[in-house]
Amino acid sequence: MTASGSPEFSLLVSCCRWNFANADPGQRPELPSGVDWTRFVGLARFHRVQGLAWSALAQLADSVPHDVRRALSSDAKAIAATNMAIARECGQLRDDFGRAGTALLFIKGLTVGALAYRSPLLKMGWDIDLLIDPRDLDSAAGVLTARGYSLRLPAKRTQLRSWHERSKESVWHQDGSLYVELHTGLADNRQLIPTLDVHSPTELVEAAPGMALPTLAHDELFAYLAVHGASSAWFRLKWISDFAALIHGGRPEEIERLYRRSQELGAGRAAGQALLLADLLFDALQTLPELRTRLGLDRPTRMLCNAALRMVAEGERDPTEKLLGTFAIHWTQFLLMPRLGYKLSELRRQAGLLTRRLH
């Protein structure tokens, strides 16, 4: 397997890598010749890494066309402003859920950004992902309603509990364009990472100056991010950049341990897929040639990685906008675990999704 992609995509990967928390800030990306800058901006926006791109290129601005500088810097400012608004809301949600006695974790978003990047407010986000205990669904819905959120998916409050019995999250919206995804689970198929929940080991992360938010502890976060990326075949660079940034600069024995622990937690081949993809794009396994070889020798894991590489390196539009664009997302889900029981449960899950869409 070899990494592929256009000069624009390769430059975008280099920009993301420069922003890693443990990367050397003195090693700015080299600008390849023949970059189509209009396409570069389009790719950055599709992959939702404009802020990271501008952060890496700002000191090289004289080599970047003026309209590109203006577009990326404007996007970066908007992303930072949105993240500040999200941070303020996260603080309020943390306090309100605490007063209601409802256990809460913040997943993805600001907490991952703070762990992964030097300038976390430049990691694009548009929603707030909250994880709760399913038993606290009514309490959580009450807190969100009191804060001015209305339910968007499902359409009716009376459908909320039955919706969460078959879906891992509901979607809420507050005037002012703030969205919350309220999670009672972390995987589309509940046979993946089945023990991870709001009561799993946690850590506090300073997501903004003076504001700490609870999130999954490092081992659990590693497994979760692998499964989350695999659920969409990693079609956005943002997701694999987050994953690679979290392990960048880690000791080889620590990365090996994280992989072994992910298997105990039920991440299946999603963890191997994530590591191989992160290696192809960001050299994540450079110090772990034996693990790279071991993962690559497993044909389903290799197939998963190749499918993800094609999705992320060749994608310029949302897969739902293309004919059969989501096909790779659907078939790769069957390879994430080898057990027949898992494959049958995945078949039932996808058939249920199709039935609901047709109705």
Total number of domains in the chain: 1
Q: What is the pTM of this model?
A: 0.95
Q: Give the pLDDT band (50/70/90) at residue 86.
A: very high
Q: Give the pLDDT band (50/70/90) at residue 104.
A: very high
- Asked whether residue 206 is assigned to any structural domain, the reply reads yes
Tens digit of each residue's pLDDT (9 = 90 or more) over 185-204: 999 999 999 999 999 999 99
The whole-number pLDDT of residue 115 equals 97
| CATH number of the domain that residue 125 is part of | 3.30.460.40
The per-residue pLDDT of the chain, averaged, comes to 95
- Asked whether residue 44 is assigned to any structural domain, the reply reads no
Residues spanned by the domain of 153: 86-218
Q: Specify the DSSP element, H or E, that contains 26.
A: none
Q: Which of the 8 DSSP states describes residue 30?
A: P
- Asked whether residue 132 is assigned to any structural domain, the reply reads yes
3 state SS of 178: strand
Distance CA 191, CA 16 (A): 32
Amino acid residing at 17: R
> 306 near 287, Cβ under 8 Å?
no
Query: How many other β-carbons are positioned within 10 Å of the β-carbon of residue 195?
Result: 11
Residue with tokens 């700490």: 212
The dihedral built from the CA positions of residue 215, 221, 227 and 229, taken in this order, carries a sign that is positive
3 state SS of 146: helix
21-55: b (≥16 Cβ within 10 Å) or e: bebeeeeebeeeeebebeebbebbbbbbbbbbbbb
- Asked whether residue 336 is assigned to any structural domain, the reply reads no
The whole-number pLDDT of residue 315 equals 87
- Asked whether residue 155 is assigned to any structural domain, the reply reads yes
Query: What separation, in Å, do the N-terminal and C-terminal C-alpha atoms of the chain show?
Result: 41
Q: What are the strands of the beta sheet with 149-153, ordered from one edge? A: 105-107, 127-131, 178-183, 169-174, 149-153
Give the residue, 32 or 38, on which the prediction is more confident: 38
The percentage of residues in the chain with a pLDDT greater than 70, rounded to a whole number, is: 99
Distance CA 157, CA 142 (A): 11
**Burial (CB count <10 Å: 0-12, 13-18, 19+), residue 256:** middle
Tens digit of each residue's pLDDT (9 = 90 or more) over 272-287: 999 999 999 999 999 9
- Asked whether residue 163 is assigned to any structural domain, the reply reads yes
At 246, give phi and psi (nearest 5°): -65, -30
- Asked whether residue 65 is assigned to any structural domain, the reply reads no
> 13 near 5, Cβ under 8 Å?
yes
Q: Check whether 1 has a pLDDT greater than 60.
A: no
Tens digit of each residue's pLDDT (9 = 90 or more) over 42-71: 999 999 999 999 999 999 888 999 999 999
- Asked whether residue 325 is assigned to any structural domain, the reply reads no
